[in-house]
Amino acid sequence: MLLSPNPLYKAYWVAQCRYTRNGEQFKGVMTVAGTSQPQAIKQMRQYFTAHPGEYTFADYDTLIPLITHIEQSSTLELPLIRQVREQHNAKVSAVLVDKCNLTHPRPSEKGDIHYREGQPTFIEYSHLYVVIDSGEYHRQTGQHLVPKLHGSQLPWKSLYQGETQDSLEDKAPYLVHIAANQAGQRFLAHYLNLPHKASLGLFINSLKPFTDIHRQMRKLTYLYNQKLESWNFFRFYDVKHFIPFIESLTHGQLINVVNGVNAFYGYSAQYPDGVEITFHPDYLYDGSKREPLFINTYLYNHYANITQLQTVAKAKALIEQFSQVEGDELEGDALMGYCIHAANCSFLDDIHQSKALLYDLQARYLCRHQPRTWQIANEKAAPYKYNQVLLSYHRYIACLNTQGEMK
C-alpha cells in the first residue's frame, strides 16, 4: 500500500485496554504519544495513576504504532485519526475512549434486540399503529396525507405540535391507529401496496392506548446531538435510522422507546420483505428508571461512517468505469476492500474531503504497483499541498499521464 503519512502520526500508538473505573469494567481504545513503545507504556501508566480513586485496575492487550494499526484495519479509521490530530493540537499525552461497558453492556450487545423477517399484523388484545412520513407519502402518491387521514375513519395525530406542526404539516410524521376493522384493513392494504415502503414509515404493535403511544413516540422526533451540541429532527420512523438508534441505547434509554411495545415492523434495503423487531420480554413491563434520549457518539460515528463509505463507494465506481483494464485482479468486494485500505492511507496523508478522496483513491489505484510513479506524482503535486482537492487532483493527473506513457 502506498504511504506518505503526515510525520506527526509516527509518534502515536494505539492500545486495546481493559480497566475498572468506579467499580465498572470496560474495554476501550487509548491513543498514546510516544517515540517508542517503552515511552508509550510510561504515558499509559501515568494516565491511569493520575486518577487513583477512579481507576482500580488497568491493563492492555495490544499496543502497536498508529500507522500500523491504520494499515491493518479493515474499517475506515478517520474518527481515530481526527482524535489523534485533536490530541496533538491539545498537547495531551493519552486519550481513552470507552468501547464497551462489560458490567452494564448495551441491550444490543447482550442480544436483547431480535430481528427476523416479518410484516405488520394484528395481534389479539394489542393495537397496531403506524408512523407515516407525510412528505414521503406525497412524493410517492402525489397526494397529501392529511386529507387521506381525514377520510380514513381511523384515529390519527401529528407527532409535531404547536408552531412546528403548523409550518411542517405536509412534512410531519403522523401516528395512525390501524383498527382491526374494514377501515383499518383498507388503510393497511393501501400502505403495503405503495412502491417504496422502506422510507415511508414504521409500524408499532403495542399494548398501550393511542394517547400513551403518541406521547412515547413524540420523544423520538427531536433529539439532542451530543457531538454537535445541537438539537436535530430525527426520522426514527425510517428503519435504516431506527435500527442503529436502538442499538446505540443503554438499558434505561431503550425502556423509554420500547416499554409496552410487542414489536416494531418496517422495511429497508436489508429487509425488502419486512423486518419484525422484538425485545427481551422483560422490556414489555420494565418499570426501572428511564434515561434521557439523545444522539450519542456511537450513533454519530455510525452516520459519519456511512457518509465516508458512500464516498469510497463512489471512488470504487469511478475506478471500475475509468481506471480498470481487462484482466484486472481487483473487482467486487476485493476492490471495495482495497478502496477502504487506500482511504485510510489517504487519511494518514490528511486527505479526507470527499472530492479530494475521489481523486486520491483513483490515483492510488493507478499506481498501486508503481511506488516510484507515486513518488513522482507526489513531487509534481507538491506545490498544491495546502489544498486537499488540488493536491489530489494533480496527483491523479500525474498518475494518469504516466499510465498513458507506459501504454
Q: What is the pLDDT of residues 170-211, one digit of tens each?
A: 999 999 999 999 999 999 999 999 989 999 999 999 999 999
* pLDDT value of position 272: 94
Edge-to-edge strands, sheet with 230-233: 230-233, 222-225, 294-295
Helices (H), 101-237: 107-110, 134-141, 145-150, 162-167, 182-192, 210-218
Q: Angle, to 10 degrees, between the axis of helix 239-247 and the axis of helix 297-318?
A: 130
**What's the N-to-C CA distance of the chain in angstroms?**
23
Find where cell 479530494 sits: 356
Contact 256, 245 (CB under 8 A): no
Cell numbers at 284, concatenated: 414489555
Say how many C-beta atoms besides its own lie within 10 A of residue 290's C-beta. 16
Using alpha carbons only, give the angle 395, 398, 399 rounded to the nearest 5 degrees. Answer: 85
**CB distance 254 to 248 below 8 Å:** no
CA dist., res. 75 & res. 305, Å (int) = 9
Task: Provide the whole-model pTM.
Answer: 0.87
Contacts of 251 (CB under 8 A, 6+ apart): 104, 106, 107, 288
Query: How high is the pLDDT of residue 405?
Result: 56
Cell 412524493 sits on residue:
139
Cα 166–Cα 169–Cα 173 angle in degrees, nearest 5: 125
pLDDT at 5: 83
Cα separation, 137 vs 132, whole angstroms? 7
Contacts with 177 (C-beta within 8 Å, 6 or more apart), sequence order: 127, 128, 129, 154, 155, 156, 184, 210
Phi, psi dihedral angles at 25 (to 5 degrees) = -90, 140
Q: Is 166 exposed, middle or buried (0-12, 13-18, 19+ CB in 10 A)?
A: exposed
Let me know: does 367 contact 399? Beta carbons within 8 Å. yes
- Residue ranges covered by each domain of the chain: 7-104, 109-298, 311-406
Distance, in Å, from the CA atom of 233 to the CA atom of 316, rounded to the nearest integer, reads 32
Hey, which residues does 17 pair with through a beta bridge? 28, 60
Residues whose CB is less than 8 angstroms from the CB of residue 280 and which lie 6 or more positions away in sequence, other chains included: 107, 112
Spatial separation of the C-alpha atoms in residues 220 and 233, rounded to whole Å: 9
Residue 24: the pLDDT is 96
Residues 6+ apart with CB under 8 A from 72: none
Tell me, what's the pLDDT at 327?
A: 62
CA-to-CA separations, 291 to 27, 212, 256, 294, in angstroms, rounded: 23, 18, 7, 10
H or E stretch covering 233 = strand 230-233
| Partners of residue 353 on adjacent β-strands | none
- Report, as ranges of residue numbers, the positions in the chain whose pLDDT lies below 70: 1-2, 324-327, 404-407
Q: What is the pLDDT of residue 1?
A: 59
- Residue 35 C-alpha cell reads as 517515540
Instruction: Report the C-alpha gap between 384 and 395 in whole angstroms.
Output: 10
Of 152, 115, 102, nearest in space to 132 by CA: 152
pLDDT of residue 404: 55
Amino acid sitting at position 247:
E
What does the alpha-carbon distance between residue 160 and residue 80 come to, in Å, rounded to a whole number? 37
